Amino acid sequence: MNNFEKVSITNEARSELHDLIHLTGAEISVNTLPQGGSVPFVHAHKQNEEIYAILQGEGTAVIDGEKVSLKEGDWLRIAPAAKRQFFASAKKPLKYICIQVKENSLEGYTMTDAIV
């Protein structure tokens, strides 16, 4: 039995890694909004914070009514209760990773959790 799983992501609009590589501590998705497209709903969470990594393109997040510009290389953390929605710009698609984890659950960091 392997202690790892590997998958290649294609150019789908959304790939959910928790299903593809059987994640047990986080929900991670790779998402692409077409130019001018958006996530079709506003949402918040009960317990999970979200971390977004913008891989390509540009767009906007509306978080609790505040517009936040997004571009390649940006990282964004959103608290569970914040209401959010994402939009790609009219000029470029927006490709991003969303990492969802339970807020305040991190007990160890790379060096404190490592066994050397």
Mean pLDDT of 6-13: 86
Burial class (CB in 10 A: 0-12, 13-18, 19+), 72: middle
Q: How confident is the model at residue 113 (pLDDT cuts 50, 70, 90)?
A: confident
The model carries a pTM of 0.89
Distance CA 99, CA 48 (A): 10
Residue 1's pLDDT is 58
Which is higher by pLDDT, 78 or 24? 78
Per residue in 77-111, pLDDT (tens digit) is: 999 999 999 999 999 999 999 999 999 888 877 77
- Here the tokens at position 63 are 């978080």
How does pLDDT run across 32-74, given as a tens digit for each residue? 999 999 999 999 999 999 999 999 999 999 999 999 999 999 9
